[in-house]
């Protein structure tokens, strides 16, 4: 398998776009794994690599020839490399004139190569596999030091006790866990904190980013927290936990109910949504 982009070369999408513009009508251009395949119903097939390495170009052409064979078409692909400096006609072409150079080379070679046709072109490039999709980015997490400070605030507010949700006792780390109870904690704290923030004309707010996560206990994880000031994030959290005490125990069931209402009211309980930004107020 060829690499997606050779050192110092252009990106495959840029190369494909330049070839579409430079070759003009009659050509079909298709990005593949590490090269761009081009074809013409009369002039045949060619593989173009995004670097000036002719060896890579030859390997790409061999791969395109093999792909053609899989589609039931026996046809040898030509190969081209692209350089921004030196050239080596006809195989290493100048980037600034690659459309003209490739077209000319394919036209000259077509006189001595096997016949080609539109049906063969369609079969080969139609069956050509697209390059593999880039790996999905790893989920982001909120600032670890901020999460640790939230956990410390929860622990202090609990006074050494545990918190209870649906009859299950949770530690401060559970309550402040980005993939555990932190989404509900922040949403419920935001619900209580919104009034004083509005009264202060938007000052003291914070932004919460939630992302769907099937491995999280609530179906969402906290992927980002952006407070206007850390203290103004910790105050509503501590206040929420302390107000949740009843008969000597911290009952956070209401916190979960607030979070559930938030999901329902925003249509976010389908499980198939994009990331969610929750702005308590404009950070200032």
Per-residue model confidence (pLDDT) at position 271: 45
- Going from the N-terminus, what domains does the chain have, and what CATH number goes with each? 12-127 (3.40.1350), 144-279 (no CATH)
202, 281 contact by CB (below 8 A)? yes
Per-residue model confidence (pLDDT) at position 1: 33
Per-residue model confidence (pLDDT) at position 181: 94
Give Cβ neighbours of residue 215 (< 8 Å, ≥ 6 apart).
Answer: 179
Per-residue model confidence (pLDDT) at position 69: 93
pLDDT in tens, 31-71: 888 899 999 999 999 999 999 999 999 999 999 999 999 99
DSSP class of residue 29?
A: E
pLDDT in tens, 152-162: 999 999 998 88
d(CA 61, CA 110): 16
Which portions of the chain are predicted below pLDDT 50? 1-8, 131-132, 270-284
Find residue 133's DSSP bridge partners. none
Per-residue model confidence (pLDDT) at position 194: 65
DSSP 43-94: TEEEEEESSS-HHHHHHHHHHHHHHHHHTT---PPEEEEEESS--BTTTEEE
Per-residue model confidence (pLDDT) at position 200: 54
Tell how many helices (H) and how many strands (E) occur in the chain.
9, 12
Percentage of the chain lying above the pLDDT 90 cut: 46
Q: How far is CA 209 from CA 147, 175, 256, 277, in A?
A: 14, 17, 18, 5
Q: C-alpha angle with apex 163: 159 to 164, nearest 5 degrees?
A: 155
Question: Which residue's entry shows tokens 């969402």?
Answer: 220
């Amino acid at each position: 398998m060829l690499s997606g982009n050779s050192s110092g070369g252009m990106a495959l999408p840029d190369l494909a776009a330049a070839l579409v513009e430079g070759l003009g009508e009659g050509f079909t251009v298709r990005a593949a794994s590490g090269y761009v395949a081009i074809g013409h119903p009369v002039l045949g097939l060619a593989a173009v690599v995004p670097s000036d390495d002719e060896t890579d170009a030859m390997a790409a052409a061999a791969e395109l020839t093999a792909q053609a064979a899989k589609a039931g078409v026996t046809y040898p692909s030509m190969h081209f490399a692209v350089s921004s400096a030196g050239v080596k006609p006809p195989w290493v072409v100048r980037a600034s004139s690659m459309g003209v150079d490739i077209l000319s080379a394919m036209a000259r070679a077509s006189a001595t190569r096997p016949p080609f046709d539109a049906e063969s072109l369609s079969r080969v490039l139609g069956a050509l596999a697209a390059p593999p999709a880039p790996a999905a980015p790893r989920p982001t997490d909120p600032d670890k030091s901020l999460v640790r400070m939230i956990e410390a605030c929860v622990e202090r507010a609990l006074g050494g006790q545990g918190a209870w949700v649906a009859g299950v006792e949770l530690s401060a780390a559970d309550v402040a866990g980005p993939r555990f109870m932190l989404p509900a904690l922040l949403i419920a704290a935001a619900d209580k904190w919104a009034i004083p923030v509005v009264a202060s004309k938007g000052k003291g707010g914070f932004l919460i980013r939630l992302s769907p996560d099937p491995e999280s206990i609530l179906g969402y994880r906290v992927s980002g927290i952006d407070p206007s000031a850390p203290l103004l994030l910790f105050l509503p959290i501590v206040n929420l936990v302390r107000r949740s005490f009843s008969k000597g125990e911290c009952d956070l069931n209401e916190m979960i109910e607030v979070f559930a209402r938030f999901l329902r009211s925003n249509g976010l309980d389908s499980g198939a949504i994009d990331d969610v930004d929750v702005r308590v107020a404009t950070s200032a």
